[in-house]
Structure 1
């Protein structure tokens, strides 16, 4: 699946939810972006008065996945909703609408529960006096640090600013507001500053079937620096971040920013810009995943997926086919109601 850059998603003539090129990216961690998208989906579903309203809601969900294709919560939620729509015999639009809303509510509750539990596990691995190196904005990481502070542990944090979206600046602000001592650094200083760190923490958009972590670009540099300095790297991610669709490989191109990151005078000279927004961190650079089930090695991810789906490898229908079948089922329901 080849995606256009986010900057090319701007379609002024379409509904407003299609328009922002950085929707679900700027200032939002993976969990917040997923929650915002799911709440938007639920709102559209609840406002739908006919099949066309529900089809519009599916368009919204597909667009949000296209903007953030590595969002395991969105992909997993979409799978559950689409499988239900494609396989169940709904007697009315109201019944289909209720089913989708209930599915979204279950996922939102699970996200909160697993985020809190994973953050608790990570917090307990931190020790009084630790200096934590992190990058980007992750609610899971911020909650872990907040919980560690609440346990009475004196924690200091070094945050990389995370250009070009400056997610790390937002993280530094959030941590300072809860009373944690923070040092904000430029991304290029991560290798230099890791010598002062005793732990490294990052969040994730997804964890693939082989234990690879997908996170905001820059996390890979942090992982390499931590590995070189023998600083343990923990990824804070609830099981809702598992991405079982990747069991047969991952062929998604990361969304990226382009010339918009370049000063105008440079653009006039022909300088081009490219800023990929996500990258893969191989499991050998990750010491552990802090999940709601406990601290686990990346190599244990297949076990977690088997527990979730009942088999390994899980048999999963491609998402684009599920979208097509769900849309056709809704059209059939509309035709039945019009008879």
Structure 2
């Protein structure tokens, strides 16, 4: 049985509604998400009672962002276990919800392994469900700590590249608390610079076709009091030409073993612009985003989204008439090319900042060493 509903949480507006939380009302455990498709018009929460509801939320982008998808995947397995559903079936459906973001499968497999190990050890499904939930909660906490460490490493790198502060940072898509267990990845670095009094301007790409920058990053920047300016994606070149960008900071959905970075479509053109204008292009992502099993950028599966996301504009509280639920901006029957991500080759990446440190220059060997250090730290 799938039950999915929404409720407005007015009482959370002042403190900020969390991106995800686990709750256990009398009728059974649920997973609660802030519906990111409704922002910035309203903060509405989406409540999922099973994995299929969570899969739908992930595919609709109500739940999005690589680290948060990993956390959501782990909680989704725990939810299936706690409610007595087929855990392996839930895991399969969750992993397939969005193919490019490797964190989703990492989170699912981690909770699934905890469940299977506990079940084999005790034979008790309830204890196994508790083990899956503990794994999800631990992953949630680890991501929050990783976010804080990435922010520190990223700010140190910015200060090294541009001593004295006054950083003017260009970012793409959304990389803040809305997609993380903490304060985010690239956005967390900019926020750390702001708190230290060293952020001069955050340039926010609108991020077509779904406006994650305009709707989500601007929303987060406004809430934190950061100095920010929104621009259309195709205005970035003029900013570079005018010398108004000191660094580009983005997140990542998957980093291949050779250092190729898959991120929200539009990232690769920024890398090309940054290289031409001698501006650092920095990727901020947790170590879990590095996928040693994906050898290079060509091996990364790129999710293709529906064409109506390009031929229509969807905005909260706007009357809709299009087939996809939006306002048509192209003639009926127009075909659209709509990859969700593009891939930036390692030679265009100045540095990859993780919770375990910074990799620069970006090479397969350096990434392998980073992952080895991370595994050793976990083992200890």
Alignment TM class, shorter chain as reference: 0.7 to 0.9
The Cα of 1:218 is off from its aligned counterpart by 0.8
C-alpha distance in structure 2 between counterparts of 1:27 and 1:16, whole Å: 11
Q: Which of 256, 277, 291 does residue 208 from structure 1 map onto?
A: 256
Q: Deviation per CA, 1:283-323, whole angstroms, max 9, x where unpaired?
A: 1110001112222122111212334457xxxxxxxxxxxxx
Q: Which of 28, 31, 49 does residue 67 from structure 2 map onto?
A: 31
Matched-pair contact (CA < 8 Å) for 1:234–1:288: yes
C-alpha distance in structure 1 between counterparts of 2:171 and 2:260, whole Å: 18
Partner of 1:280: 343
Q: Which of 146, 156, 160 does residue 201 from structure 2 map onto?
A: 156
Partner of 2:308: 259
Q: Which of 65, 81, 85 does residue 45 from structure 1 map onto?
A: 81
Partner of 2:15: none
The answer to whether structure 1 residue 96 and structure 2 residue 128 are counterparts is: yes
Partner of 2:233: 187
Summarize the Cα distance change of 1:186–1:271 in structure 2 as closer, same or farther, 3 Å threshold: same
The answer to whether structure 1 residue 177 and structure 2 residue 223 are counterparts is: yes
How many residues of Structure 1 are paired with residues of Structure 2 in the alignment? 290
Alignment of 1:212-291 (within 5 A): 212-247=260-295, 250=299, 252-263=301-312, 264=322, 269-291=332-354
C-alpha distance in structure 2 between counterparts of 1:251 and 1:153, whole Å: 36
Q: Deviation per CA, 1:48-78, whole angstroms, max 9, x where unpaired?
A: 2xxxx1x2x4433333332222222222233
Q: Deviation per CA, 1:237-260, whole angstroms, max 9, x where unpaired?
A: 121222122148725242322234
C-alpha distance in structure 2 between counterparts of 1:126 and 1:146, whole Å: 12
CA-based RMSD of the aligned residues comes to: 2.6
Q: Deviation per CA, 1:201-241, whole angstroms, max 9, x where unpaired?
A: 00111221111111111111111111111100111112122
Matched-pair contact (CA < 8 Å) for 2:91–2:112: no
Summarize the Cα distance change of 1:267–1:191 in structure 2 as closer, same or farther, 3 Å threshold: closer
Summarize the Cα distance change of 1:279–1:60 in structure 2 as closer, same or farther, 3 Å threshold: farther
Summarize the Cα distance change of 1:227–1:245 in structure 2 as closer, same or farther, 3 Å threshold: same
Matched-pair contact (CA < 8 Å) for 1:258–1:273: yes
Partner of 2:40: none
Matched-pair contact (CA < 8 Å) for 1:209–1:243: yes
Partner SS, residue 155 of structure 1: strand
TM-score relative to the length of structure 1: 0.76
Larger mean CA deviation between 227-236 and 70-79 belongs to: 70-79
Structure 2 residues without counterparts, runs of 5 or longer: 1-50, 160-164, 177-184, 313-321, 323-327
The answer to which structure has the higher helix fraction is 1
Matched-pair contact (CA < 8 Å) for 2:265–2:340: yes
TM-score relative to the length of structure 2: 0.69
Summarize the Cα distance change of 1:197–1:104 in structure 2 as closer, same or farther, 3 Å threshold: same
C-alpha distance in structure 2 between counterparts of 1:153 and 1:197, whole Å: 14
Partner SS, residue 67 of structure 1: coil
Partner SS, residue 237 of structure 2: helix
Alignment of 1:86-165 (within 5 A): 89-90=120-121, 91-127=123-159, 128-139=165-176, 140-165=185-210
Matched-pair contact (CA < 8 Å) for 2:263–2:341: yes
Larger mean CA deviation between 87-96 and 277-286 belongs to: 87-96
Higher relative contact order (CA 8 A, sep 6+): 1
Partner of 1:314: none
